Amino acid sequence: MVKSSKPHVALFASPGLGHLIPIVELAKRLIAQHGFTVTVFAVTTEAGRAEDELLRSATSSWPGLFDTVVLPNVVDDSLGVEPKTGIIPRMLGMVRGALPTLRSSISEMVVKPTAIIVDQFGIEAVKVLAEEFDVLKYVFIASNAWFLAYNAYLPYVQNKVDPNKMFYIPGCESIPGRDLLQLTFDPNCRAYRDFASIGRDIMTVDGILVNTWEDLEPRTLAAFKDDLSMKSIVKVPVYPIGPIIGRPKQPDESVVYVSFGSGGTISTQQTIELAWGLELSKHRFIWVIRPPIENDRSASLFKSVHDLDDSISKCLPKGFLDRTRDLGIVVSKWVPQEEIIRHRSVGGFSIVNGVPIIAWPLYAEQNMNATMLSENLGIAIRPEGKPSEVLVGREEIERMVKCVMDNEEFGLRRRVKDLKKSAYEALKEGGSYCALSKIAKDLK
């Protein structure tokens, strides 16, 4: 356990590598820029190897300052969560099942934390622990401010939401109905009730940290401060502290990086079409590939998807690896995504690294993110159909790759470079740095 005399903060990551990575990055920021010691609590999943590697790397990089506690993956049976239930109920069941170990771990600490920071789906931990240990409580929204506004406003929606209409949020951009979480359309389902409960519970904390910055979401952030309707809902301070990554690097923009994140999976036929699309584009690529899984776009969120190794060719068109040997690299094991996307040659992935994006939404709030990137910000393109519902053909994939790599007709690269510059400025003193400094001052 951490025994430093520096102020101590506990951070709690809900299940899934995609939730753990931003919590770890925030923890490193608190150490490097604000002089804290941290303890990261992580709920294990069946995708444990990648999680262990991430935590081990952070601990070795910050000896004596960065501690980790791995919590057991025990679902609370009282919640009645079935194995095939939705992502949110299942996640909340795993969080609640980990709370007894979390409570005992904090009780045994010699230096108790002055605050606990949880991610959006770990709000149950704040409810249980904050009063017991008399600590400040914060929620960290790792996605964006728009998703926070959606989660906060949904509990107050009176009428049934129409998927064919725009979804109004006070002071913010409206969301196309097709991009909302599916639970939005069934107020009587378990997932809706859980998500609405999260939205209400978030408003009981001392502050909300959001992985965004002013130039990225000016309208939404202004709504939290100026819109009377939104202010009546979000009554606690909102701190834009993003982007939560290291310092951007300048890419050479010659390689397409293909990954569906820590939880996304695609079908066998979609894997084949993607392979053909990459080959036809004639652009160099790095493809982090998982075994195809049918009818479950978030299959690897909670469980390990085995590395393909020698069987990788079985998932790809015949001869693909031989034909693209000098063009691309196919990776079948977990790799540190941030290191790859910051590599100087990656040309099609990250805002903060100044490269345009092909948005490929599969589950959760990814459809909202795709709309924000392609329509609101104009720095991405997306398939015409929803990849979670239809097969995206090789010709369309070829077209999208060539668009982001060759064609500046739509101004994608210019706009994303402007945002890269603003992201870098936000990381300096002032902006997001200042927002996190305010929180750090309160915690000391």
Residues assigned a catalytic role: 19, 119
The letter for the amino acid at 251 is P
Report the relative pairing of strands 255-258 and 284-288 from DSSP bridges: parallel
Collapsed DSSP state (helix, strand, coil) of residue 135: coil
217-255 CB burial, b ≥16 within 10 A, e <16: beebbebbeebeebeebbeebbbbbbbbbeebeebebeb
Residue 303 token pair: 């469980």
Strand pairing category for 66-71 and 37-43: parallel
Distance from C-alpha of 396 to C-alpha of 442, rounded to nearest angstrom: 51
In angstroms, the CA 58 to CA 421 distance is 27
Token pair belonging to 182: 């599916």
Measured CA to CA, the distance from residue 345 to residue 425 in angstroms comes to 23
User: Position 47: which residue type?
Assistant: A
The three-state secondary structure class of 53 is helix
How many CB atoms sit inside 10 A of residue 148's CB? 26
